[in-house]
Structure formats: C-alpha cells, structure tokens
Structure 1
Amino acid sequence: MDDRIATTAEAHEADALPRKRDVHTGGEVQDERLPDAVTRTPVEDKSAAEWAYERLILYIQNFEEQLDNEHEVAMGFAGGEAGVLRIEGLGFFDPDIVTFYGTDETGMRTQLIQHVTQLSVFLRAMPKQVEKATPRRIGFRLGSGLEQS
C-alpha cells in the first residue's frame, strides 16, 4: 500500500485495468506495465479468446527473453502421447477458441485448437533447429501483431 491519494475515478480506472505480477523464488516481484495494445480495449469488450490470446503472447515473449541462442519456445502436452509443439504461430477464433500452429519433434506440421475454458499451456525450451543460424522468436512477431490490431 502506498500513500498516493487518488480520485474516485482514478481508483475505479485502476481497478478496471488489467495487471500482471509475478513473484519468483528469490523473492523478486515483477509488476509489469502492459503494452497499450493490450490495455487499449477494455477487457469487458474482448472475447474470452482474444483476451487469452493477448496474454499468451505476453507470456511467450517473457519466456523467450530468458532463453539463450541455442533454444526456442515450444509447448508440451499433458497426458497422452501428443508430445511437444514448437510454436510458430498463435491465433484465436471469437468468442472462445485459441489455436497454436507449429511443428512437432519430427518436423511434422502440428496445430492445437483449444477452448479457452480448457486452456493450459506448458512452455518449454527446445534446442533450436540445427539448420537455423539464430533461434526463432515467435513472441516478437506475435507482439508486432498486437500493435497492428
């Protein structure tokens, strides 16, 4: 809590704005200011799919910032034999579907289509593909798309 005095309107606006906070084992707290592209449209005016899509982009970007040049972002699947998807694209279909595009460990094209109520994403670092000189950073490309929408 701080000693800043806010008007009623400022207090309501602050309550309505989405926030992102992470706390890690070292005790560091990260309160991030969200990009204007994410906060420009009020949350109540977004579909569940669009809102999930925007937040997934932010998580992917943050995850990629922690990777070295030998790894790329991928997502693993819980249960079954589905394996891992190297994330190459992300989309949504209003009002409630999110989809991931990519390739599996063998290079086969893969797409996951998921309802937002079932959304559970497990981000993994995978060694980059050998034929690529630099790791692919999908979070940057997805973030550019946010700014254009």
Structure 2
Amino acid sequence: MDDMIKTAAEAIEADALPRMYEAHSDPDQRNVVQQAIPKCVTDKPVSQKSPAQWAYERTVLYLKNFEEQLDNEHEVAMGFAGGNAGVLRIEGMGYFDPDIVTFYGSDSDGARTQLVQHVSQLSVIFRALPKAAPGKAPNRIGFRLVEDLEKAQGATS
C-alpha cells in the first residue's frame, strides 16, 4: 500500500498521464516507452475518454513505434489470430465511441479489407510486409495517425 500523500493536482495529473512499461531481451530494442507521448494524448484525462478513444490512441503510438523500426522496403500490416483471415495492410484506423476500434486496408490479394473490433477483444499483431508499391516511398500510416491526433487536439483547444 502506498502511504504517500498527494495533492489534488498530483492526483489529477497521475490520472491524466498514461503509465506504461516494457522490457525486451535486446536492450537496444526501441520501445514505445522511449517515445515522446504527444501532448494531445495526455491533455485529456483518461477518465474523460471513451474506451474506444483510449484504445485507439495507444494503438496508434505502438503502430508508429513499430514503423520507426522498419526499413524503406517494408510497411506495416496486421495479422489476425485464429482462422484464415490472413493479414491486413494498414491504410487507415479509427474508432466509434464508446467501444469500437476499426482498421482499414487491403489483404495480400489487394482486396479492400476492414476490421471492426470491440475494445474488449482488441488484439493486434503488427507485421512487416514488403512494400505494396516497389520503387515508391513506404506507406507510414502510424506517422499520419499521430499527426491527425495532434491536429484534432489543436482544433479543440
């Protein structure tokens, strides 16, 4: 039990700031804990976010961290647990309050694909796939999603 006395401001700040921890077998492995968390994620207390918004924001941070470790020949995709659903090359992501997260993209055959998932069942496996368009810059959706979060926060402040 923590016997520390906290001021009201410290208690509110602790509620608003995300807490996270990661450990890897390779100490040089970059992880999401080492990323600067965008102000737009920490400005609004977690208690004021829907489960969908909170799951979306944290998944975006993990997605961007994964992409930062890819070379220029690979893009991010996600695999599915169970069944033969294959992979989805992530081209977009969103949420629908209070509890739905969705991923947009295409499968390995190029067919348009969308995953709609309840936050209580959210389980994402990021995979590195060769670029869909060789010779072009890789698609970096995680970076665009973080920019969108920051723009949305700027529009509401």
Give the TM-score normalised by the residue count of structure 2: 0.84
Give the counterpart of 1:69 among 67, 72, 80. Answer: 72
Distance 1:32 1:21 in 2: 12
Query: Which residue matches 2:19?
Result: 19
- Tell me: CA distance 1:43–1:102, structure 2 relative to 1, closer, same or farther (3 Å): same
Query: Which residue matches 1:147?
Result: 150
**Gaps in structure 2 of 5+ consecutive residues:** 153-157
Matches within 5 A, 1:1-149: 8-9=7-8, 11-16=10-15, 17-27=17-27, 30-131=33-134, 133-149=136-152
Report the aligned-residue RMSD.
1.9
Q: CA deviation digits over 1:57-106, x for unaligned, max 9?
A: 10000000000001000000011110000000000000000000000000
CA positional deviation for 1:13: 4.2
Give the aligned residue type for 2:111: M
Q: Secondary structure at the match of 1:78?
A: coil
**Gaps in structure 1 of 5+ consecutive residues:** 1-5
Distance 2:106 2:39 in 1: 31
Distance 1:46 1:7 in 2: 23
Distance 2:116 2:9 in 1: 39
Question: 8 Å contact 1:76–1:123 — kept in the other structure?
Answer: yes
Give the TM-score normalised by the residue count of structure 1: 0.88
The percentage of counterpart residues that share the same residue type is 59
Give the aligned residue type for 2:49: K
- Tell me: CA distance 1:148–1:45, structure 2 relative to 1, closer, same or farther (3 Å): same
Distance 2:10 2:77 in 1: 39
Q: Which moved more, 1:6-15 or 1:118-127?
A: 6-15
Question: 8 Å contact 1:53–1:92 — kept in the other structure?
Answer: yes
Distance 1:98 1:45 in 2: 17
